[in-house]
Amino acid sequence: MAEVVMPRLSDSMEEGTILQWLKQPGDEVAIGDELVEIETDKANMAYESDVAGTLSEILVQEGETVAIGTAIAMVGEGDGTERSAAGPVAGDGGALRAGASSTPPSPTPPAEEAVEAPVDPDGNGRPKASPVARRMAKEQGLDLGKLQGSGPGGRIVKADVEKADATGATGFEPGTAATQTGETGFEPATARPPVGSPETAKGQVSFEDLSKLQSTISRRMAESKATAPHFYLEAEVDMSRLVEARAQIKAGAKEGDVVPSFNDMVVKACALALREHPRANGAYRDGRFELYSRVNVGVAVAARDALVVPTVFDADQKNLRQIATDSRALAQRVRDGQITPPELSGATFTVSNLGMFGIDSFAAVINPPQAAILAAGAISERPVVRDGEITTAHLMRVNLACDHRILYGAPAAEFLARIRALLEEPLALAL
């Protein structure tokens, strides 16, 4: 009998929450099979089993949070006889799955508990869906068993739920929420009663618990502002030549070609500048400077109720199309809830862009322990004076937040000036 313990899925992970068991007691488990979906401090991901056998017992139920190293399940050898000898496992309703054992099943559960959700191709009794899709379906009252998945292996993703919601394909009565209850499928669930006073001067008060990711963001941002002495530098970049260059790239692109966005160009410019300014590509930690040999740029992506920063590794060595391809794939994986902790780790610098929302300028909070973060605003055509005459130019404001413990005023100004020079000379980004 082998223990399956809560794994450490990221360098900062201390505990994890069981979101969904992908195998049930009595199921055969092979090495590499997706066993359980776990919520960490950085992402939700499926954990692949490193042992083979029969899942004999689930020790930690869905929704429970335990520390890393805690036993969450037991896997035995054979075809399920160990489980049947031990009797029904707590939490599975006392009913063995068909074919799991030759031992007679325990007494039949009540009829309302015997309804099973549509079985997925792997036979684990549940529709295959990403954590984001599962939460959205629950909120919108959709029956995942009635949806067609477009993700890998028929997995239901966010877009499938959004499409079903747009067409009104609900599986429940209006006004009810859906709760997944093990092998019993979905049952109507009442909303959580409001906590606190029912009516105040501010109206009715309700409370919402933070996810692991939201808790981590709030803690790290508070620590960053409290411990890293921020200072800010702002510059205005003339993006006119870059706007023209991108228009030419777009006009010459073939069907299916990836056209780099302006944010991809900002990432590339930052990566080249970071290679020339090692302190900006470092961190202050425990009274000393850490300087990194790789230039990995984190790109802030707005996810569902959170801000996630996946990493474009070795951005200084990639061309614009490679950066664009990586960025789009990472952003889509974030929105589908399929991003993994390794893809969220290892960044040495971060770029945050709110220009698509019409924001001209903003000051970002440093992503610790990095030395700096660049905030990019919208590109807009504004009047400028050139050679004594008024004309127009496409301008973008950028704001560099720096940790004064490692990046001082003059070196930081030189670093930002280099980013501006690279953006104003498009040919430099192609090198």
For 227, the 3-state DSSP assignment is helix
More confident residue, 362 or 211: 362
Q: Is the pLDDT of residue 140 over 90?
A: no
pLDDT at site 306? 78
Q: Is the pLDDT of residue 81 over 50?
A: no
Q: Check if the beta carbon of residue 141 is closer than 8 Å to that of residue 178.
A: yes
Q: How confident is the model at residue 431 (pLDDT cuts 50, 70, 90)?
A: low
For 105, the token pair is 């099943």
C-alpha dihedral sign at 46, 49, 54, 55 = negative
More confident residue, 94 or 186: 186
197: CB partners within 8 A, 6+ apart: 205
Q: How confident is the model at residue 103 (pLDDT cuts 50, 70, 90)?
A: very low
More confident residue, 313 or 184: 313
Average the pLDDT over 80-98 and give the result.
35
User: Annotated catalytic, 404?
Assistant: yes
Give the domains, in start order, of the chain with CATH numbers: 2-189 (2.40.50.100), 215-429 (3.30.559.10)
For 291, the token pair is 């300087």
Distances 411 to 133, 143, 274, 278, 391 between C-alpha atoms, Å: 45, 56, 12, 10, 33
Q: Check if the beta carbon of residue 372 is closer than 8 Å to that of residue 280.
A: yes
Rg (CA), the chain: 26
More confident residue, 399 or 151: 399
Q: How confident is the model at residue 381 (pLDDT cuts 50, 70, 90)?
A: very high
| CB under 8 A, 24+ apart: contacts of 324-333 | 324/258, 324/259, 324/260, 324/261, 324/264, 325/258, 327/261, 327/263, 327/264, 327/267, 327/299, 328/258, 330/299, 330/301, 331/299, 331/301
Q: Check if the beta carbon of residue 361 is closer than 8 Å to that of residue 399.
A: yes
For 100, the token pair is 């799991």
For 276, the token pair is 């020339």
Residue with tokens 């280099």: 418
Q: Quick check: bond before 369 cis, omega within 30?
A: yes
C-alpha dihedral sign at 204, 209, 213, 217 = positive
> What letters, b where the CB count within 10 A reaches 16 and e where it falls short, cover 401-422?
bbbeebbeeeebeebbebbbeb
pLDDT-wise least confident of 91-100, 245-254, 340-349: 91-100
For 84, the 3-state DSSP assignment is helix
* Longest CA–CA separation in the chain, Å: 93
For 345, the token pair is 């780790």
202: CB partners within 8 A, 6+ apart: none
Average the pLDDT over 144-151 and give the result.
78
Whole-model pTM: value is: 0.64
Q: Is the pLDDT of residue 172 over 60?
A: no
With pLDDT > 90 as the criterion, what percentage of the chain qualifies?
45
More confident residue, 384 or 109: 384
CA angle 393, 398, 404 (to 5 degrees): 150
pLDDT-wise least confident of 35-49, 311-325, 329-343: 35-49
For 144, the 3-state DSSP assignment is helix
Q: Check if the beta carbon of residue 100 is closer than 8 Å to that of residue 27.
A: yes
pLDDT at site 125? 58
Point out the catalytic residue in the list 230, 277, 394, 404: 404
Mean pLDDT, the chain, rounded, equals 80
Residue 387, classified by CB atoms within 10 Å of its CB into exposed (0-12), middle (13-18) or buried (19+), is: exposed
Can you give the length of the chain in residues?
431
More confident residue, 106 or 166: 166
CA angle 19, 23, 27 (to 5 degrees): 165
